Amino acid sequence: MASIDDDKKAAAVAAVAEVRDGMLVGLGTGSTAAFAIQALGERVAEGLQMHAVVTSEASGKLARELGIEILDFATIAHVDLTIDGADEIDSRCFAIKGAGGAMLREKIVAAASARMVVIADGSKRVDRIGAAKLPVEVLPFAIAYVMRVLTDMKAAPTIRDNYRTDQGNLVIDCHFANLDDPRATAATLAAIPGILGHGLFLDEVDAAYIATNGVVTRLERMGASD
């Protein structure tokens, strides 16, 4: 039986097969995304010509070590393909992301991308997203206010201990008892002053490569809007 890391690697290799010469690729953050960066580094070593932008300092460091040329995203308006992990993903290609704390940068890069694919081991595939903690990135100036609002929303918020994002912001992890309407929750969070981003990815993910016991399946978005 394949281990979780084996499945992460298998999903990553399948997703990286989408990369073609000349592409500008967005690289996500976290343990699963690291497998994609490693697989992409192997293809670059074999002669693949491409550039990348990264969603975190950690991903940038790994990519450079593997010979992947990194561009400054601040100068980039369009990305061809982004490959990233997820904490949960369902059949609608709705995902929760942010365990690695980079969800704000990840969402910006995803928004700039013509296509975004998620890679995951089978444990991340769920019937409906909502069990995983939902992270939000918060301006430190607003932390007490945002905590009060999230508590009033019954989000069971907790400030992530000893953690700052690459932007120097704080992360609050929320656990909603009910996430039946993720679009409404996303809209509410986006409207709270002081919240800079959140981990609900409802329109960004175009496809997912999910590996279970070494077998990779591809899930393509079917235009779900609920």
Q: Which residues are catalytic?
A: 106
State the alpha helices, DSSP H only, in 17-54: 31-45
**Structure tokens given for 142:** 């607003």
Q: Which amino acid is at 200?
A: L
Torsion of CA 127, 128, 130, 136, to 10 degrees: 120
CB 112 within 8 Å of CB 78: yes
Task: Report CA Rg, the chain.
Answer: 17
d(CA 165, CA 104): 9
d(CA 158, CA 171): 9
Those residues with Cβ within 8 angstroms of residue 112's Cβ, 6 or more apart along the chain or in another chain = 26, 73, 76, 77, 78, 79
